[in-house]
A and B are shown apart, each in its own frame.
Chain A
Amino acid sequence: MTTDQDIASPELAACEVHGMTRSSFILRGALAAGAFYGTASVAPFVSQALAETGGGDVEILNFALTLEYLEADFYNVKGKSLGLSGEAKKYAKEFGAEEAAHVSALSAAIKQLGGKPVAKPTFVFPATSEKSFLALASVLENTGVGAYNGAAPSLQSKQVLASAGSIVQIEARHAAAIDLLIGKSPTPNEGFDKPLTQATVLGAVKPLIKA
C-alpha cells in the first residue's frame, strides 16, 4: 500500500497500475469522511463506500473534479488575495481560468454519465507570500499530473480517457512553467512522469481540505 511518504519518493508508486482497481477508487468517500468526521473515521466510511459502489468512471471523474476545484480555488481565490506580481500574477490568472474550465468540463462529463458532481469542498492554503504560493503551486500541479496519469488507465470510457489526457497535458504544462519560474527542474521525474495512486494523492491534498 502507499502512504503519504510516497509523495517524497513517487517512484515507489510508479508501477502500481494494477493496484488501481476501479472498486478501490474511494477518494470521494474518504475525502468526505475525513473532512466531516476526522481522519480516524475514514476507514469505516471507506468500507461502506466500497460496499455500496463498484467504482467506475464517475468516481474517477469526481476525484479529478475535487483536485480541479482545489487548483481553481488556489489560483483564483488564494492567488488574488496575495497580490502577486509579474509572471506569478500572469500564470495565476491564466492557469486559474484553465483550471476553472476543467471544473466545468468534468462536472458536465459526470452529469453526462448519469452521475452527480461532488460539491466543492472548502480549502485552506498555507501560502502567505508569492514565494510560498509558487512552491505550493508546484506541488499541486505536479501532484495533478501524477493523479491523472495514475487514474487514466482505470477509465473504462475511451472518450473520458481522451478528455483526461487532454487535461493532464495542461497540468504538465502548468507544472513545468511554475517549476521553471522557481528555479526547479521542469522535468522532476526525468523522462517518465510517475503515476500516483489515489491514496498518495489524497495524502498530499488532505491537509488543504477544511470541510
Chain B
Amino acid sequence: MLNSPDEEAPQPAGIVERLVRDDVDRKRFLKMAGSAGAASFGAFVLAACGSSSSSSKSASTAAATPTSTTASSATGDIGILNYALTLEYLETEFYSKVVSAGLFKGKVGSLIKTFGAQEASHVAALKAAVTKLGGMPAADPMGKFPITSATQVAELAYTVENLGASAYLGQAAKIQSPEVLASALAIHSVEARHAATLGTLVKKSVTPQGAFATPADMSTVLAAVKPFLS
C-alpha cells in the first residue's frame, strides 16, 4: 500500500485549497442551475471526443436532460475532474522534465515524448470539461520531480502511471454523468497502456495487480503525490 489511513490527515495545502474551492464552485453551480448547465454536458462531449459528427447527437440528447438532475450530478463530477486534472498536470510536468533531461533516446525516448503529449491532451480535455460544466479548473500544482538517471526515472514513471490508473479506477463508480464517465474511461485505459509499457521498460510485470486492477481512493492518491508538489 502507498500509505496507511492514519497518514492521510496531513494534506498538501494546495490540494486542500483547491478542493475547498471546488466546493465553492459546486455551490455556485447549483445556483446557476438552468439550461446553460444542461447544455454544458453536451459541450463536454464535444470537448472530450473531438469533432466527430456524432457528437452533435449526443449534445442534443444531453441538453434535454432534466435541469435539476443535471445540476446536482455535475457538482460531484467537477470535483472529480479537477482531481484528475491535478494528477494530469503532475504527469505532464514529469514527462516534460524527463524529456528536457534527455535521458532517453531512440524508441524509448519517442515513447516518453508521446506519453507526455498524451498527458498534456488529458490536461486540455479535463480543463475544457470542468469549464463546460461551469466549474473553475484547478490550478497547475507545479510539480517537482527527482530526475537522476534513466533507471530511476523509468521506475518513477512506472509508479506514477500505475497510481494514475488506480486513481481513475477509484473514481469511475462515483461519476454521475455518463458522458464524463465515458471520457474518464477513455483516459483510464490510456494510463493503463502507459503503465504497461513502462513495466516492460523496467522489466516488471505489465499487470502488477494480477487479473483485476485495484482502485485507489482520493486521499491515498493525494498522499502519494504529496512529495511531488512544490
Q: Which residue of B lies closest to A179 (CB)?
A: B193
Assess the B193–A172 pair: CB atoms within 8 A: yes
Give Cα distance in the complex from A177 to B192, angstroms: 10
Assess the B211–A159 pair: CB atoms within 8 A: no
Interface of chain A, helix or strand or loop or mixed? Answer: helix
Interface residue stretch chosen among A44-52, A55-63, A96-104, A111-119: A96-104
**A-B CB proximity, top 6 nearest:** A101-B211, A169-B213, A172-B189, A172-B192, A173-B196, A98-B211
Most chain B beta-carbon neighbours within 10 Å: one of A165, A170, A177, A187? A165
Task: Say which residue of B54, B121, B165, B193 sits within 8 Å of A15 (CB atoms).
Answer: B54
**B190, CB-defined interface residue at 8 Å:** yes
Assess the A193–B206 pair: CB atoms within 8 A: no
Assess the B182–A153 pair: CB atoms within 8 A: yes
**B127, CB-defined interface residue at 8 Å:** no
Q: Which residue of A lies closest to B197 (CB)?
A: A186
Q: How large is the interface on A (under 10, 10 to 19, 20 to 34, 35 or more residues)?
A: 35 or more
Q: Per-position contact with A for B180-197: 1 when CB-CB < 8 Å, else 0?
A: 011101111110111111
Count contacts between A and B, CB distance < 8 Å: 172
**B93, CB-defined interface residue at 8 Å:** no
**B149, CB-defined interface residue at 8 Å:** no
Name B residues whose Cβ lies closer than 8 Å to a Cβ of A: 45, 48-50, 52, 54-55, 57-58, 61-62, 111, 114-115, 117-119, 121-122, 125, 165, 169, 172-173, 178-179, 181-183, 185-190, 192-197, 199-200, 206-207, 210-215
Contacts A98-B210, A162-B215 known; A176 to B193 CB distance under 8 Å?
Answer: yes
Contacts A177-B196, A186-B196, A193-B190 known; A169 to B165 CB distance under 8 Å?
Answer: yes
Give Cα distance in the complex from A177 to B198, angstroms: 10
Give Cα distance in the complex from A145 to B165, angstroms: 14
Give the residues from 89 to 126 in chain A that come closer than 8 angstroms, CB to CB, to chain B: 94, 97-99, 101-102, 105
Q: How far is the CB of B104 from chain A (nearest CB, A)?
A: 15
**A4, CB-defined interface residue at 8 Å:** no
